[in-house]
A and B are shown apart, each in its own frame.
Chain A
């Protein structure tokens, strides 16, 4: 009993900080969202029913979720081959690769995002190359499309996926792959039956980070997505800073929180099936 009491008191400082800086604002937010009018005088669920009763807002939630899932899928598609390549590279190549992988984290989000504008714009790099090579007769629309946004998010969030994936894959016994090959399995079978299941814990960690940050990537979403694509973060900004409808903005915020949480819980639930031992 005494030991338990000591443990509790040791956790108190951090607990108080959490309470003051995390739980309290959250409750405040929830409280604001439960107000019916903009002056916060009347309680009511009016804003919640307004949000969920409107197909447009439901569509925004759906688009945000889809953006997160798309970012995770596209990032995974490139992360696994990259991680495999990394694990098989010589130590010197690995050092260079790690630098390249970390590079997006070393630049400011704003700069990275504007760089993507230069690349994806109508007269941008991609279009000039595509036109010059005759791959396309007219310039491709990349800015303000979901494709362009997912592409940019993939580059920006690749380190979040790669780092956990690499750290798990580096811990795998290289003999496992050899054992699989010697037993008659080709490269693809070996990958799907041995490497993929054994690296799932790393992927789940990476996918959680990518999903959460893609859903909430306000700057990338608004700069590359522009006004045409509306996601929850820009909706919150618009409602809070332009319309000044705080209760409604609070509803959007809580919804975004729950949306991201739902995705993370899905991934966690997947993680229970990825127990490798």
Chain B
């Protein structure tokens, strides 16, 4: 038997007999199901064979030794303790913590996650996660709009992947209008929110204080890179009303795009607009501190079609991972990760500038930046791939978005520059 089915065929038959059914066919007939389709999926194989098959597929992917590409997915070092802790089966194989009595571990872990994300972003409240950075931005739109304010201004400095999601999410709304802006924007009495990315897609660090001044009464929504917040001032200190973003950087591998972690934090007054699960601290019948899912009156299972979001399952284990990662690296470690990424990116920018890939960014940047390329950048990339280097992301024929993190080294950058020189 196996196939993870416990009862032997004989036991199954005995159980069927007890139900007064001669066979599965009879059981299903009584349940109202007739006939069975012919499937073309092959018969099952042993775990040994399935593993070999999957490992062969994995081996058909190329793991680049040298990575200088970010653009929303980042290669960072993940401490072994983090991977070990989050693979505990008590966490991995649990459902959403509906039953608080046997879920205190998960609930407290998420409470700690919420606390750390609030600290990191400078916000008062956090939810327990949404699907990813793009959907976090899309959900934040719903937190801004109300009967009188339905216009959202999206900076073109926001990752195009996220902008696409925001547009898609709200394309069938009767009232929400989404406009993009380049360097400057104007709010009017309909403007509900101004969305910027910090640092932006091109690495630039926007002046949030100035943007907040211009935004006036419209909410300032900051899509933040949580790693950068180890070094950069918290958006909450600079006027943000809502801070959301992608949390993959906090302990999750790049893994071809998922699972990742959408985080959402806000000022206290917006707590009832936050979508998704939220964990709160309370006491039990004996007065003991405990944790439970709370403020559920916002959610789909209670509000049904009146809920602002339909999210049910989220990315709980990823949120848990982020919390373990933040505790493992601590404030100094997160600073080191951010500062080393910042330093190496600037070193890379200087070296590229030297050899004629001029840096386009005008102001200060974090760990990503854009260069002009004097030759066809596709050719350059091909050359780099041959040397096992995943170069920056091509933005156009002659523009490249580069990234460095703490996993890179100075020597690696020097060598990269030599390799580029070969084709200039």
Q: Do A and B come from one complex?
A: no
